[in-house]
């Protein structure tokens, strides 16, 4: 079994990125599970909190799920042409303490995607993640092109179901390519 952890960088109930991730869970090849994580239990990073109390329970749980996973699927919103703070905050927490970076992120296959109501569909947010992934040493999947979802409010219905058939096909193909990449990386 290949285990992926999925993280959507939004706390919003009707998040387009959470809907994209839930759609991804229905389009995975056989033998793959997607463990969708919530960022709700992750507090704002504060070095004093870390020094006084260590890694908070909600962070430690997410960190171990990511460390154990064969790959990571991240759906990023775009805020002001870059990644949103709520997701960067979680990624930063998981990089603490620094000696755990290799265990949690090192060589971890990671695929990025994102949805926004705008015309660029998170292209700039995805680009803004590149120095972060490089710093953390993940293995970024780039074989399947880019999974941008522009004008995303039209791609999902009111229940968050993916109703854009072309996108459904593209997402399925992207995920199949990513799973091949994960398996070839030898983490699965
Ligand atoms: C946005 N949004 C946005 N969209 C975009 O395509 N480019 C951008 O630069 C921004 N900037 C931005 C800043 C801030 C502060 C907010 C709150 C929003 C719109 C954003 O893409 C939209 O709210 C998405 O629906 C957010 O993702 P979720 O919550 O639906 O997953």
Give, in order, the Cα–Cα distances in Å from 23 to each of 34, 63, 134, 171, 184.
11, 24, 27, 9, 24
Radius of gyration of the chain (CA): 16
Give residue-wise pLDDT tens across range 103-162.
Answer: 999 999 999 999 999 999 999 999 999 999 999 999 999 999 999 999 999 999 999 999
- Judged against a pLDDT cut of 90, whether residue 186 lies above it is answered with no
Strand runs (DSSP E) across 55-163, as ranges?
71-75, 109-115, 139-140, 147-149
Residue 133: partners with Cβ closer than 8 Å, 6 or more residues away: 110, 112, 140
117 lines ligand 1 (CB under 6 A): yes
> Which residue's CA is the closest to the ligand 1 atom numbered 3?
79
Residue-wise pLDDT for 170-180, tens only, equals: 999 999 999 99
User: Which atom of ligand 1 is least distant from the CA of 75?
Assistant: 31
Paired tokens of 160: 């968050």
Q: CA nearest 46: which of 38, 54, 58?
A: 54
Ligand 1 neighbour 17 (Cβ under 6 A) = yes
Tokens of 60: 């430690």
Phi, psi of 164 (to 5 degrees): -85, 105
Q: How far is the CA of 36 from the centre of ligand 1 (A)?
A: 21
C-alpha dihedral sign at 43, 49, 51, 56: negative
Residue in the block written with tokens 């993940």: 138
- Percent residues over pLDDT 70 in the chain: 99
Give the residue carrying structure tokens 């599970």.
Answer: 33
Work out which ligand 1 atom sits closest to the CA atom of 80.
9
Measured from the Cα of 19, ligand 1's closest atom is: 31
Collapsed DSSP state (helix, strand, coil) of residue 50:
helix
For position 188, what pLDDT does the model report?
A: 64
Task: Give distance in angstroms: CA of 151 to centre of ligand 1.
Answer: 11
Q: What is the pLDDT of residue 1?
A: 95
The two three-digit tokens of residue 97, written as one number: 């303490």
Listed residue (38, 37, 60) closest to 50, CA to CA? 60
Distance from C-alpha of 144 to C-alpha of 24, rounded to nearest angstrom: 15
């Amino acid at each position: 079994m290949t285990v992926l952890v999925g993280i959507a960088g939004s706390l919003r109930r009707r998040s387009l990125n959470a809907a994209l991730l839930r759609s991804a869970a229905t389009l995975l090849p056989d033998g793959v599970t997607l463990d969708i994580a919530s960022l709700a239990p992750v507090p704002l990073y504060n070095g004093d909190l870390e020094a006084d109390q260590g890694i908070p329970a909600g962070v430690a749980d997410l960190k171990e799920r990511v460390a154990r996973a064969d790959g990571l699927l991240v759906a990023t919103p775009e805020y002001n042409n870059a990644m949103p703070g709520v997701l960067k905050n979680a990624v930063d927490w998981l990089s603490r303490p620094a000696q755990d970076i290799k265990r949690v992120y090192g060589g971890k296959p990671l695929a990025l995607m994102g949805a926004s109501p705008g015309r660029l569909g998170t292209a700039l947010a995805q680009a803004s993640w590149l120095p972060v992934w490089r710093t953390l040493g993940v293995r970024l999947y780039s074989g399947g092109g880019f999974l941008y979802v522009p004008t995303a409010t039209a791609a999902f219905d009111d229940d968050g179901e993916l109703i854009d058939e072309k996108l459904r096909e593209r997402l399925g193909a992207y995920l199949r390519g990513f799973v091949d990449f994960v398996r070839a990386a030898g983490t699965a």
